[in-house]
Amino acid sequence: MITGSNRGIGLEFVRQYAASGWKVIATCRTPIGVGELATIAGDIEVHGLDVSDPYQINHLAKDLGDTPLDVLINSAGIFGPKGYTTADIDYQEWMKVIDINVFSPLKVSLAFADHVARSEHKKIITISSMMGSIGANTGGGDTIYRSSKSAVNSVMRGFAAEVKGRHIAVRVLHPGWVRTDMGGASADLSAEESVRGMRAVIDSLELSSSGTFYNYNGTELPW
């Protein structure tokens, strides 16, 4: 199951997993007129899901019944405002970013934990960013986005410890600087390259390495 699946990295996850023969549950806010998502061949179910709406999250979890989810990928996220200084941060916009980037991945992970626990692979993945690494932050800037990714890293680290007894493995991933609407046209990687790398990192995840932060290329990152 992949959230934010109608564009960017989420869309590429759908494309690659479907091409590899997986059944994919793809979610996005508006399942009508999903554009490119509708053209991808494979065993794909598209469901409407606004990840900021707890009712919709719980409703979809109930609709899926006893469906096992081998891999749950929290891909939905936003960058928020750009071009500000710390002196002129818009705190209301900051809360919107925190809601989508921090609250929502946890709410989705909690709601679908039972589905993941009854599967074979039992993996929950959250797409974060190197910009959320406190240890690697030597330049500052983009406080809103950085703080949201630092926060979700911390949340998922704790969540990993809480669900380890259910044999669910959790990992946070940096996708690299990717040519998407968020990353821009001058970014280093195509979505295809980024997702191919992340899928290998997902494949390598075991319960013994749960609660870790990895780059798309397979290297572990500092918190």
**Residue-level pLDDT at 48:** 96
- Cβ atoms of residues 212 and 220 within 8 Å: yes
**Residue-level pLDDT at 195:** 98
Show the tokens assigned to 165. Answer: 């007894």
**Residue-level pLDDT at 111:** 98
Residue 181, pLDDT above cutoff 90: no
Summarize the confidence of residues 151-175 as an average pLDDT: 98
The alpha-carbon radius of gyration of the chain (Å, integer) is 16
Rounded CA-CA distance 191/195 in Å is 6
Rounded CA-CA distance 171/214 in Å is 7
Rounded CA-CA distance 75/182 in Å is 13
Residue 167, pLDDT above cutoff 90: yes
**Residue-level pLDDT at 134:** 97
Residue 33, pLDDT above cutoff 80: no
- For residue range 88-134, list pLDDT tens digits in order: 999 999 999 999 999 999 999 999 999 999 999 999 999 999 999 99
Which of 127, 126, 113, 223 minimizes the C-alpha distance to 165? 113
Residue 192, pLDDT above cutoff 80: yes
Which of 89, 116, 102, 214 minimizes the C-alpha distance to 149? 102
Angle at 149 between CA 220 and CA 222, to 5 degrees: 25
Residue 214, pLDDT above cutoff 80: yes
Q: What are phi and psi of 44, to 5 degrees?
A: -125, 125
Percent of the chain at pLDDT exceeding 90: 93
Show the tokens assigned to 56. Answer: 């919709």
**Residue-level pLDDT at 34:** 77
4: left (phi over 0), alpha (psi -120 to 50) or beta: left
Residue 186, pLDDT above cutoff 90: no
Q: What pTM did the predictor assign?
A: 0.96
- For residue range 41-51, list pLDDT tens digits in order: 999 999 999 99
- CATH number, domain 8-215, options 4.10.93.10, 3.40.50.620, 3.40.50.720, 3.30.70.2860: 3.40.50.720
